[in-house]
Amino acid sequence: MEQTTTTPPTGTLIHGTLRLQDLIPTFMEAVRAYAPGQYAAITTAAMPAPPAYVYDEGEDSEWWETEDAYHLLEELVDALNEAAPEGTFFGAHPGDGSDFGFWSVDLLPSWGD
């Protein structure tokens, strides 16, 4: 069966938090929807991330503060940025660092101007 990819909408995906406990699950769901190949690679790796025990332990799991968690966050951001439609990027809004989503590249500052 062919896997279809939905085009991400421009705008906020998650806002008002920088906690990995909030960002990683939200970004994982977005990667599942918009970059299913990368989602499969992340979840079927020899050491899938996040590990299953993290969900059992919940928000208080020490895993959320590990290098593995930060590495996963970076991997998810990269996957979502690759899935961003032409003329957009995935990341924090240039005017609000806690507003993550898909934004027009026109919002990026022009350093050469």
The answer as to whether 30 is a domain residue is yes
The answer as to whether 26 is a domain residue is yes
The answer as to whether 6 is a domain residue is no
| Percent of the chain residues topping a pLDDT of 90 | 70
Residue 34 pLDDT class (50, 70, 90 cuts): very high
- Tell me what pLDDT residue 1 has: 37
At residue 5, φ and ψ (nearest 5 deg) are -115, 130
- Tell me what pLDDT residue 111 has: 62
- Note the Cα 73 to chain centre separation in Å: 6
Quote the domain boundaries for residue 86.
Answer: 15-106
The per-residue pLDDT for range 65-105, each reduced to its tens digit, is 999 999 999 999 999 999 999 999 999 999 899 999 999 99
Residue listed under structure tokens 């928000």? 59
Instruction: Answer yes or no: is pLDDT of 2 > 60.
Output: no
The answer as to whether 5 is a domain residue is no
> What is the count of structural domains for the chain?
1
Tokens of 106: 């026109």
